[in-house]
A and B are shown apart, each in its own frame.
Chain A
Amino acid sequence: MADSTPDSKPENPECGHNATRRQFLKQSSVLTALAFTPGPVVQAAAAEWDEKIAAPFEKVGLKLAVNGKNYKLSVEPRVTLLDLLREQLHLTGTKKGCDYGQCGACTVHVDGKRVNSCLALAVMQDGREITTIEGLAKGDDLHPMQEAFIKHDGFQCGYCTPGQIMSAVACIREGKADSEGEIREFMSGNICRCGAYPNIVAAIQEVKTGGQKV
């Protein structure tokens, strides 16, 4: 898979593990192409779509800011944001539930908006700011929503919880948490099979009425 190099230059794509001859040849062609193009495939395509240049590429460079940290990455186009976060950046707080956009366990914020990271291609997020559950607390100080989930027992098994909390924070920021009914409607993209819904709603209502900055 691709390499992650926080705050540093992209690694040489030849240095992957388990390199095969086929990979080497493909990567060599990538490097050859790089030698006479100014940047990665995205830029080549953006300037003037040209099949001859774009065709040999298998990995695409992208820059992301994740939880305030800048990354220069190199990924296959088919890698989802969820897999990039978990498998390459080892931010495993974001969960893979269904992987089809049906459960909300993978919810993260992209440029401040909550999205299902399992249905987002990493390469399409180039230049954007990502916040995951790991980026919510300030050091040892939990985010008010995390505190409220603990206080109200807003979970049992905990698997959906990172997605619930990311969604809950966005729900308040969007101004969609003014009543129990509204919270339930705008939290419906996050499924909890333990059925902790009443406690989740209570936690959100407390943060909302508490007036803390979320």
Chain B
Amino acid sequence: MNQFQYVRPSKPKAAIDARAKDQNSQFIAGGTNLLDLMKRGVMNPERLIDISRLPLDKLERENNTFRIGSMALNATVADDKQVLEKLPLLAQALNAGASAQLRNMATIGGNMLQRTRCPYFYDTALPCNKREPGSGCGALEGYNRMHAIFGFSDKCIAVHPSDMSVALVALDATVLVSGPKGDRRIPFGELHRLPGDMPQKDTTLEPGELITAVEVPEGPFTKNVHYLKVRERASYAFALVSVAAALQLENNIIKDARLAMGGVAHKPWRLTEAEKSLVGKPATEATFQAAAAIAMQGAKAFKHNAYKLKLGPNAIVQALKNATNVA
């Protein structure tokens, strides 16, 4: 690992100042992804700004909204009784990610900012526009079985790796940010961006902006929810495809629906049209199949990930069945 300077400001404002002043600096909180990337030489910050002890770890609930501090640990939120009761989809998604050890280290803010696990991004000997803009995309014509089927560009076909983010986009969360120009709120669906011509930019955050919290409305999705993660072993692996499904049922008729996918795009992929198709229909496999077909419209595979075109809709149907106990 390259040498770096280490500072630990005691106030968010000092941390933001330090970050804004120095382009070669990075915030560090849990460090579970950043240190991994630094050891491999993928990221080489000259200064780390330790934000892990900033007073941003509270979990509050008021006006039917959860406000989760960005420094709250993944495990703390996943085990919180109120989260389990009111936001079970979020708890399931958190527990689907990483391992018990990593969930004890990783923060909520860090989880949403983790980088792609595309092997070309990780291997500094290979081309990657995200790591080194202009060097090319190794995955485009390379080994691309983990890669995107939606929203990619010819510059980058990597996918966003977070499970938690898939649940948060489905639940209409809002990201609270403080920066050199003040505070702002970002709808979760607008935090991550598609690669386009600038795959080096994962999010819409401005330089120096610090995520302070995420707000999640309670909503009616307390019972019929399921986070389905398909991976190559039973636990502790990144998703090939994942689905966050949440339904509000009345006499088996769907009153409201939320659906999002992970492992398919450069950002957590909300399926708004498929959601609309579910509303007003009975919770049956036929309804779910129709929604899955809508969800997959526009999907396009590469040489090694065509299986996702079949796994995707199957996972959507299975997640909806699990959420509703339809056999």
A residues in contact with B101, CB < 8 Å: 101, 104, 107, 114-116, 167, 189
Interface residue tally for chain A (C-beta within 8 Å): 43
B residues in contact with A51, CB < 8 Å: 21
Contact B14 A49 (CB under 8 A): yes
Q: Please give the distance in Å from A210's CB to the nearest CB on chain B.
A: 22
Contact B4 A77 (CB under 8 A): yes
Q: For the complex, is A55 an interface residue (Cβ under 8 Å from B)? A: yes
Q: Please give the distance in Å from B232's CB to the nearest CB on chain A.
A: 13
Docked Cα-Cα span, A176 to B78, in Å, equals 13
Docked Cα-Cα span, A183 to B179, in Å, equals 42
Could you pull out 5 A-B pairs where Cβ atoms are within 8 angstroms? A42-B6, A77-B5, A115-B105, A119-B35, A167-B100
Contact B32 A101 (CB under 8 A): yes
In chain A, positions 85-129 with a C-beta closer than 8 Å to chain B are 99-101, 104, 107, 113-116, 119-121, 123-124
Name A's interface SS: mixed
Q: Please give the distance in Å from B254's CB to the nearest CB on chain A.
A: 30
Contact B104 A113 (CB under 8 A): yes
Chain B residue at smallest Cβ distance from A112: B104
Q: Please give the distance in Å from A57's CB to the nearest CB on chain B.
A: 7
Contact B235 A185 (CB under 8 A): yes
Q: For the complex, is B1 an interface residue (Cβ under 8 Å from A)? A: yes
Q: Please give the distance in Å from A132's CB to the nearest CB on chain B.
A: 14
Contact B99 A189 (CB under 8 A): yes
Tell which of A41, A45, A78, A116 touches B4, judged by Cβ atoms closer than 8 Å: A78
Q: For the complex, is A54 an interface residue (Cβ under 8 Å from B)? A: yes
Docked Cα-Cα span, A177 to B319, in Å, equals 26
A residues in contact with B8, CB < 8 Å: 42, 45-46
B residues in contact with A77, CB < 8 Å: 3-6, 48
**Which residues of B approach A to under 8 Å, CB–CB?**
1-10, 14-15, 17-18, 21, 28, 31-32, 35-36, 39-40, 48, 50, 52, 75, 79, 98-102, 104-105, 234-236
A residues in contact with B105, CB < 8 Å: 115-116, 119-120
A residues in contact with B98, CB < 8 Å: 189
Q: Please give the distance in Å from A121's CB to the nearest CB on chain B.
A: 6
B residues in contact with A159, CB < 8 Å: none
Contact A49 B18 (CB under 8 A): yes
Docked Cα-Cα span, A60 to B50, in Å, equals 14
A residues in contact with B75, CB < 8 Å: 113
Q: For the complex, is A174 an interface residue (Cβ under 8 Å from B)? A: yes
Q: Please give the distance in Å from A60's CB to the nearest CB on chain B.
A: 6
Chain B residue at smallest Cβ distance from A111: B104
Q: Please give the distance in Å from B249's CB to the nearest CB on chain A.
A: 27
Q: For the complex, is A80 an interface residue (Cβ under 8 Å from B)? A: yes
Docked Cα-Cα span, A77 to B7, in Å, equals 9
Q: For the complex, is A145 an interface residue (Cβ under 8 Å from B)? A: no
The 6 nearest A-B residue pairs measured at CB: A189-B99, A188-B235, A77-B6, A188-B236, A45-B7, A113-B104
- Given A49-B17, A116-B101 in contact, is the A100-B5 Cβ separation under 8 Å? no
Contact B7 A121 (CB under 8 A): no
Tell which of A107, A113, A124, A187 touches B28, judged by Cβ atoms closer than 8 Å: A124
Q: For the complex, is A140 an interface residue (Cβ under 8 Å from B)? A: no
Tell which of B4, B40, B48, B104 touches A115, judged by Cβ atoms closer than 8 Å: B104
A residues in contact with B15, CB < 8 Å: 49
Docked Cα-Cα span, A80 to B99, in Å, equals 19
B residues in contact with A7, CB < 8 Å: none
Q: Please give the distance in Å from A126's CB to the nearest CB on chain B.
A: 8
Q: For the complex, is A3 an interface residue (Cβ under 8 Å from B)? A: no
Docked Cα-Cα span, A187 to B102, in Å, equals 12
Docked Cα-Cα span, A194 to B322, in Å, equals 35
Contact A189 B100 (CB under 8 A): yes
Tell which of B31, B36, B234 touches A188, judged by Cβ atoms closer than 8 Å: B234
